[in-house]
Structures are given as C-alpha cells and as structure tokens.
Amino acid sequence: MRYSLVAFPLLIGILIAGCAGPSAVSSGGTVSGNTLYFVSSSGSLVAMDASNGNRLWSLALEGLQPRATGGACSGPVTVTPAVYGAPQVDGDRIYAAGYSGLLYAVNATTRTVAWRYPREGRVGSLVGSPVIVDGNVFIGSSDGKVYMLDGVMGEVLGEFSTGGKVWATVAVADGILYVGSFDKKAYAFNIATKEKMWEFETGGAVAASPVAYEGLVYAGSFDRDLYAVGAKDGMEKWRFSAGNWYWGRPVAHKGVVYVPSLDHNVYALRAASGEKLAEFDGGSPVSSSPVVVGDNVVFATEKGTVYLIDTGTMGWRKLYQTVGHIRSPLFARNGVVYVQTQDRNLHAVEAQSGNKLWAVQTN
C-alpha cells in the first residue's frame, strides 16, 4: 500500500486521538427541522437553533468526555475520546457514536439518554456515523464488525463481520448493507438473512464510505482507485485512479458521481461508465465529504476554502473561506451549508451567495 505524507496526519490523528491534549477533530453535524445537532469537543451532544446558531441545550455523554490515561503517548496524558462521525436523527431519537467504542441514543424531547450500546464495556472504536434505516441503527466498528441495533431499545439485531477495521460509514440500500474494511475489501450483506452476498478485493484499505447509486456501489481505496461494482453481484464495472487516497464520501447527482481525493481534486465521473467529465483542483487535500445543494455540489479543502460546482454547466467558483482547516463532512439544509472547522468553529453559509449567516464556537 502506498502511503502519502499528506495523508499521514489524518491517519495518525485518529490512531492517537487526544495525545498531547484535547483532540481538535470535529464530528460534523446534522439538521432536523430547525435544530442542528453536533457533538462538542468536551463530549456533549449539543442542540442549536439552525437559523441563528443559538445554543438550545446540551447533554454530557459520559463515555465521550475527557479522561486521563496513558497509551500511545509517553506518560499520563489527558485524552478526549474523539467523535468523528456526525450524529443522526430519527424521530425523537438522536444517535451519536464515539472513538471510545460507545453508541448513544438520546431522547430529544426529554433530553436524556434512552440507551447506550454496549450497556457494559465497549466495542471497538466507532469512527463512522450511525446510519438509520426503518428504525434500525447500523454502525461499523474497529473490531471489524457492523452492528445492527433496534433504535428504540438498543438491542442487537445482527452482526456483520469483515476481516479488518471498519472506519467508514456504511451504506444501506434496497435491503443490502454495503461496507468497506481495512482488510482491503468491500462487502455486501443481505440484511434480512444476515448472509454475505459478495466481497470485492481492492489494492488497499477502504476507509472512505461507500455510496450505492443506480445499481452500482462506489468505494474508494487507499490504493488510489475508486471502484464501481455491481450492487447485486459485486462485479467490477470500472475503476478510476487519482493521485492520492480517497478519504471523503462521494456524492451522486443526476447520473454523475463527485469524488473527493487527497490529491486536491474533486472528480466528476459519469456514474455508469466512469468517464471523467471534469476535475476541480481546490489547491489542498479534500478529506471532507461534499454535499449536494439543489443542483450544486459544495466541497471544501483542508486549508479552509469552500467551493461551489454548478452540476449543469460544470462551472465552479470559490464560495467561502475559513481560517481553520476543514476535515469534517459538510452538511446542508434549506439552501444553507454548514462547515465545521478544526479550530472548533461552526459556520452557516448561504449556498448561492456565500454570505456568512453566522459562526459560533463549538467547544
């Protein structure tokens, strides 16, 4: 596997999260109705008014709070168990998972913890975001498994095993679970039967979240190739090579897949064939996942520049500039893009004009 010096800070930052003080990694967030949710650097689930950035309430999640320990660093250090995946909302439940190996379900009405998994102990580190489908929660773990939990009670409904760490957020479509693993493979499982449908071998670890779209699954690997495989049969249809790793999750829109790479580019590829339609060089690595806003795709570079792509013309322009670096996934609602930076600021940006609506500290 070919490792890039540019990509090492991302990998090392997760492997030894929190050494030498609190981690600066942000989780990203999600908007439900007019409420924005994220997990703060102190390990609290925070609810915020999405229109103005005013904090509505917060709830400390015990397993995600700072704790003193040793480990990868020499001597005792204070470690903040990082939260890399964005919390997700389903009805009155908010689900948040942490690198500490705990998944929480919070009742948004009572603002209390409904359950945590596991109830005792911890599973392997949870890096990806939870995924909620039909009231069930799916979460991948560094112990190589994907757990399927009942969203109401937190009971385990099934486990899906791979041969390596699962850092990527899983994808679920048409009753099939898709997941990438550090064993250099992508997998498909039948959710109803819990049986493996296929596995597809790549040339490197698969840390980027897969995307299922129009009968194909797209998985980016550390071998610098993006693979398009049949959603039902796992057969390779095409592949596309970039100049560095794929880390962020691609997005698909109107027959085109937009793929971020650490080689500074976002590639617009025809979904069915892999034909390159355009590439957009942002000037620094793109580790954050883009977001679709109307007929536009918005992406951000690590150095803090946010760009907008017009998917109709493939024209693009600079939209916004932050001071802090951007590695967290972008998220959007009602024409507003939310950008979380490594200096713990959250920006709300109007997606067409690039005007800053507000910015707040997320500590």
* Residue 134 included in any domain: yes
Residue 81: its pLDDT value, please?
52
* Residue 214 included in any domain: yes
324: buried, middle or exposed (CB in 10 Å: 19+, 13-18, 0-12)? middle
Residue 15 reports pLDDT greater than 70: no
End position of a domain, from candidates 246, 265, 292: 246
* Residue 49 included in any domain: no
pLDDT bracket for residue 69 (50, 70, 90) = very low
pTM: 0.90
Nearest C-alpha neighbor of 87 from the set 59, 68, 120: 59
Q: What is the domain count for the chain?
A: 2
In this structure, what CATH number is given to the domain that contains residue 150?
A: 2.40.128.630
* Residue 179 included in any domain: yes
End position of a domain, from candidates 211, 230, 246: 246
Among the ranges given (76-80, 161-165, 191-195, 334-338), the one the predictor scored with the smallest mean pLDDT: 76-80
The one-letter code for the residue type at 267 is Y
Q: Are residues 252 and 363 in the same domain?
A: yes
Residue 363 reports pLDDT greater than 90: no
Q: What average pLDDT does this structure show over 35-61?
A: 94
End position of a domain, from candidates 246, 263, 297: 246
Q: Are residues 176 and 217 in the same domain?
A: yes
How many Å apart are CA 104 and CA 214, to the nearest integer?
A: 32
Q: Are residues 182 and 134 in the same domain?
A: yes
Q: Are residues 239 and 302 in the same domain?
A: no
- How many CB atoms are closer than 10 A to CB 239? 16
Q: Are residues 141 and 223 in the same domain?
A: yes
* Residue 288 included in any domain: yes
Residue 193 reports pLDDT greater than 60: yes
Residue 65: its pLDDT value, please?
65
Q: Are residues 257 and 242 in the same domain?
A: no
Q: Are residues 181 and 283 in the same domain?
A: no
Strand, helix or coil for residue 63: helix
* Residue 89 included in any domain: no
Q: Are residues 199 and 286 in the same domain?
A: no
Give the pairing type, strands 316-321 and 305-310: antiparallel
- How many CB atoms are closer than 10 A to CB 348? 22
Q: Are residues 258 and 316 in the same domain?
A: yes
* Residue 21 included in any domain: no
Domain that holds residue 204: 130-246
Q: Are residues 239 and 277 in the same domain?
A: no
CB-CB contact of 101 with 139 (8 Å): no
Q: What average pLDDT does this structure show over 296-318?
A: 98
**Residue found under tokens 């967290």:** 328
Q: Are residues 268 and 321 in the same domain?
A: yes
**Mean pLDDT of the chain, nearest integer:** 90
H or E stretch including 8? helix 8-15
CB-CB contact of 292 with 250 (8 Å): no
pLDDT digit string (tens) for 86-141? Answer: 999 999 999 999 999 999 999 999 999 999 999 999 999 999 999 999 999 999 99
Q: Are residues 252 and 345 in the same domain?
A: yes
pLDDT digit string (tens) for 203-258? Answer: 999 999 999 999 999 999 999 999 999 999 999 999 999 999 999 999 999 999 99
* Residue 271 included in any domain: yes
